[in-house]
Amino acid sequence: MMNRQKGKQHPLAGTTMSGAEMIIQVLADEGVDTVFGYSGGAILPTYDAVFRYNEKHRRAEQDPMRLVVPANEQGAGFMAAGYARASGKVGVFLVTSGPGATNTVTPIRDSMADSTPVVAITGQVPTGAMGTDAFQEAPIVNIMGSCAKHVFLVTRPEEVEATIRTAFEIARSGRPGPVVVDVPKNTQNWVGEFKGSGLLEMRGYRQRMDSLRAAKLSERKCRQFFEMLEKSNRPLLYVGGGVINGNASTELREFARAFNIPVVTTLMGLGAMDTTDELSLHMLGMHGTAYANYAVEDCDFLIAVGARFDDRVAGKVDEFAPLAEHIAHIDIDAAEIGKVKVVDWAHVGEAGRSLRQLLNHGREFGFARDFAPWLKHVQKLKRNHPMNYDRDTELVQPHEVVELLNKATRGEAIITTGVGQHQMWAAQYCDFREPRLWLTSGSMGTMGFGLPAAIGAQFACPDKIVIDIDGDGSIRMNLGEMETVTNYNLPVKILLLNNMGDGMVRQWQRLYFNENFSGSDKTLHRKDFVKAAESDGYPFARRVTQRKDLGETLQAFVDFKGPAFLEVMIDNNASVYPMVGPGMGYGQMVTGEWIAGRDLNSRAPEPIDPERSPELF
């Protein structure tokens, strides 16, 4: 063990504490104010330590470390993830051994896939009973090892405080991710001296992190970047969730505006650029806006920042950005460089610092390039290929529901979602003026994410409006957490788009499986969601079946001060478009009946010349 803490000695250094008390004290030292979790035998000593810590430090009848109890441990994991994503802090959840711990495998893997910093503390049977198939024993190190950024098993009680402290360091540093600490019950009950400082020895990891923090773009690399930008006629910023995770949105916006470069974002990158900004083309990818995808088709210099060219974005990799003469890639994870797409220029480092260095270099050397023709082309793409849907039908269209909600919230609410069609409609029709307003399960695509994530976000941001836009399939996955909302009297709002089925699966079955709706039709289900909400104590619980009632009811829903539930019965044949089919390139994008597509031959020529190609302008 090594001491890397600087400054004054901890006021409690030398105090005799139990292992459980040390765990809670380190959480307090790390600034943790909310812990999500479900108790059980193997974690009871630590739960008792939370209780005693709050008894000792309570002021004005408020617990300094709130303990939020979900209906299920999976809910606790997603609440911690929602808290982390909304606040930028490390989320924490605390569960017991065996099924308590295995119930959190999905949120741990989800957090790893979306680079979310959480620390999970799991109880374990006493060390002497490990390996005997003891009651509620599970091999958490083996199970979580494939899912988490790092896993610790604390078999030496004297290392428990340093282990918890190190877990936070790993969760938040570099590319963020989940860390699991498995603590046997006898380690929690052990009594020893609290040191108040110190981390585990992890020399190789810290050397890599120090290198990342110190990573600086050389004069030569900056010059190379601007040489490519100078030669470009149609540059495009392709921005991923790494910009949000790295708190680099300010630098991104300044960079884009300084050089007048349009921006497309991934699903996870929404909010990195204000979606109402003139330079924003919103989301690209499988269900990205048509104009964003057309811009990718037309660009000649693609600048990827905090993005990883995943399959839902790059699609048919060889055909992704087909006219790009150069591709640049900035990412904090060296493993992502060249993993999917070969690039011409790359830098491994923090997104914000990297963009700031490039911006300063460009200003210092007076870089000036007129991209006005390209910007004019991009604006025309937005005018000619806007998002749209059937606006004449009497059936309630989900697109309109989200569009009206967006008008009421003005792009300032925190929006969470489950996974499926409702997720894509929310991504397409909601604005996000700032980062950390859009919380969704991207890489894992975990149904049931939305409601517990909204709960975590509301605890993190009590003054913000938090709305879970969910589907009838997704919300069933963690339906028990509806009661958690009312238990804690949270003003979380649930907008349920009910199409009586697994809509995205049904859409694929319509398109690719001859309308064989195998296992996706929920019309036989008898769940009355409004009655369920009323039984859980929601003071606002309504259903809309008619289009004419949408506007007034949605406004009342948004304005309501407490927990609110609104179910909207939508057209169950409504589909998500645009759509780039599996294994397809953007050139094969289907825009559907209501979004204007373009002739495949009308892509921007090389170079764009408004005199030579007036039809593009």
The domain that holds 59 is classified in CATH as 3.40.50.970
* HSE-CB of 91 using CA atoms within 13 angstroms: 36
230 & 197 share domain:
no
User: What distance in Å separates the CA atoms of residue 615 and residue 617, rounded to the nearest whole number?
Assistant: 5
- Same structural domain, 153 and 192: yes
In a domain, residue 4? The reply is no
**Residue 604: inside a domain, yes or no?**
no
Residues 219 and 208 in one domain: no
Task: For residue 405, count CB atoms less than 10 angstroms from its CB and return exposed for 0-12, middle for 13-18, buried for 19 or more.
Answer: buried
Say whether both 253 and 159 belong to one domain.
no
Q: Point out the domain boundary residue: 182, 212, 242.
A: 212
The pLDDT value given to residue 29: 98
At 31 the pLDDT is 97
| φ, ψ at 383 (rounded to 5°) | -70, -40
Q: Which single residue is written with the structure tokens 């374990």?
A: 124
Q: Which residues of 422-438 are buried (b: 16+ CB within 10 A; e: fewer)?
A: bbbbbbbbbbbeebbbb
Among 532, 537, 465, 456, smallest CA distance to 498 is for: 532
Distance separating alpha carbons of residues 216 and 361, to the nearest angstrom: 12
3-state SS, residue 484:
helix
Residues 26, 175, single domain; the answer is: yes
Residue 355, pLDDT score: 98
Final residue of a structural domain among 154, 186, 212: 212
Helix (H, G, I), strand (E, B) or coil at 495: strand
Residues noted as catalytic: 73, 135-136, 185, 504
Kindly state whether residues 416 and 554 are assigned to the same domain. Answer: yes
Q: How many domains does the chain have?
A: 3
In a shared domain, residues 222 and 319: yes
- Residue 478 parent element (H or E): none
Residue owning tokens 């990799």:
317
One domain, residues 268 and 408:
no
Residue 577 lies in a domain: no
User: CA-CA distance, 124 to 41, in Å (whole number)?
Assistant: 9
Per-residue model confidence (pLDDT) at position 315:
85
Q: Is residue 389 part of a domain?
A: no
- Residues with Cβ within 8 Å of 20's Cβ and at least 6 positions away in sequence, in order, are 45, 46, 48, 49, 188, 189
pLDDT of residue 3: 42
* The pLDDT of residue 522: 74
Where in the sequence is the domain holding 69, given as residue range(s)?
Answer: 16-212
* Residue after which a domain boundary falls, among 177, 197, 212: 212
Does residue 579 lie in a domain region? no
Q: What 3-state class would DSSP assign to 586?
A: helix
Closest CA to 417 of 388, 449, 382: 449
Mean predicted lDDT score pLDDT of the chain:
94
- In which residue ranges of the chain is pLDDT below 70? 1-7, 524, 600-617
Q: Are residues 141 and 255 in the same domain?
A: no
3-class secondary structure for 72-92?
CHHHHHHHHHHHHHHHCCCEE
Q: Is residue 32 part of a domain?
A: yes
CB of 291 closer than 8 Å to CB of 450: no
Give domain status of residue 598, yes or no: no
Q: Who's near 162: CB < 8 A, 6+ residues apart?
A: 1, 195, 198, 199, 200
For residue 355, give the CATH number of its domain: 3.40.50.1220
- Same domain as 35, residue 152: yes
Residue 603's pLDDT is what?
55
Phi, psi of 430 (to 5 degrees): -100, 145
Q: Residue 608: what pLDDT?
A: 47
Is the domain of 239 the same as that of 362? yes
233 and 296 inside one domain: yes
Report if residue 390 sits inside a domain.
no
